[in-house]
A and B are shown apart, each in its own frame.
Chain A
């Protein structure tokens, strides 16, 4: 998985407005006004299904209607990777699925219909724009121990990038 911060709000610009109005800077006041745009690459569609449950967030994701899928482009969970029987079953199923997908596409079935057979493990790419309030809620929920390993990895990466960019907003995680 790769996560990249594409842009974020210049906190000084917001501070200037507050200073002009004589209002002291307070992270809680500006949470709705600081936005981040991220690129997320090569996480599974399992995880993006979890991700898009978060609201007031803008997503644009690679479409399977137009892009072809390959056996190489899948995520393998560590618990499957480390389990000999489990991995053999996983690998055989993926080979069968991709073989069927390729046969369908070669036979003229549109990609948008052949994709119905593709696994949730498939890797995907998307851009995501959200404000600090939505991101903090996402980080709070998805870095919790109950969250699944892959979205925890994603939420941790988002948290690190946002904290580096705007440390003043991330001195504590405000629960929502």
Chain B
């Protein structure tokens, strides 16, 4: 199996933190973004850790990635797309796919034996690209060296 990142939504950890703060704040979005920017990554990490601990995984749905995937059969992908409603797969050719999923689905794939091999490949690709180091460490225990 081969996975390569095509696109990821910007500022993943901050975006998920914005979604979380949206539930508890009456302020306009610009004020929430400014508050999160001022408090910095340690605060985003605190909020994300709390979301994962409380299983409030809805906030993870606002971080989205699109990937090119090779080496997954149509039968296997069919099982995954039927089991994970936010997983979108478009068949390109042979065993190649365009795949879009959010971070909640990635966490759920990781916990499911049917999805774990794909989830591991995606987490590795995101880590190598340095896409979401705080989230990768919190959700999957992946340590990413800052470069």
A149 CB, nearest partner CB in chain B, Å? 24
Q: Are B66 and A37 in contact (CB under 8 A)?
A: no
Q: Are A62 and B25 in contact (CB under 8 A)?
A: yes
> Which of A30, A56, A60, A129 gathers the greatest number of chain B CB atoms within 10 Å?
A60
The verdict on A116 contacting chain B, using a C-beta distance below 8 Å, is no
What CA separation (Å) do A56 and B85 show in the bound complex? 7
Q: Number of A residues whose C-beta is below 8 Å from B? A: 38
Binds B, one of A15-23, A79-87, A98-106, A158-166: A15-23
Q: Are A60 and B90 in contact (CB under 8 A)?
A: no
Binds A, one of B12-20, B40-48, B111-119: B12-20
A29 CB, nearest partner CB in chain B, Å? 6
Q: Which residues of B contact A66 (CB under 8 A)?
A: 23-24
What CA separation (Å) do A67 and B23 show in the bound complex? 9
What CA separation (Å) do A172 and B64 show in the bound complex? 25
* Option from B7, B10, B18 in Cβ contact (under 8 Å) with A13: B7
A176 CB, nearest partner CB in chain B, Å? 14
**Which chain A residues have a beta carbon within 8 Å of chain B's beta carbons?**
2, 4, 6-7, 9-10, 13-14, 16-18, 20-23, 29-30, 32-33, 35, 37, 39, 41, 56, 58-63, 66-68, 125-127, 129, 131
**What would 4 more interface pairs be, CB under 8 Å, given A17-B6, A37-B62?**
A18-B92, A33-B66, A67-B25, A67-B26
**Which chain B residues have a beta carbon within 8 Å of chain A's beta carbons?**
6-7, 9-10, 15, 18-20, 22-26, 28-29, 58-59, 61-62, 64, 66, 68, 85-86, 88, 90, 92-93, 96, 98, 100, 102
- Name 15 A/B residue pairs within 8 A (Cβ), A-sorted: A7-B9, A9-B7, A17-B68, A21-B96, A33-B66, A33-B100, A39-B22, A39-B29, A41-B28, A66-B23, A67-B24, A125-B28, A129-B102, A131-B88, A131-B100
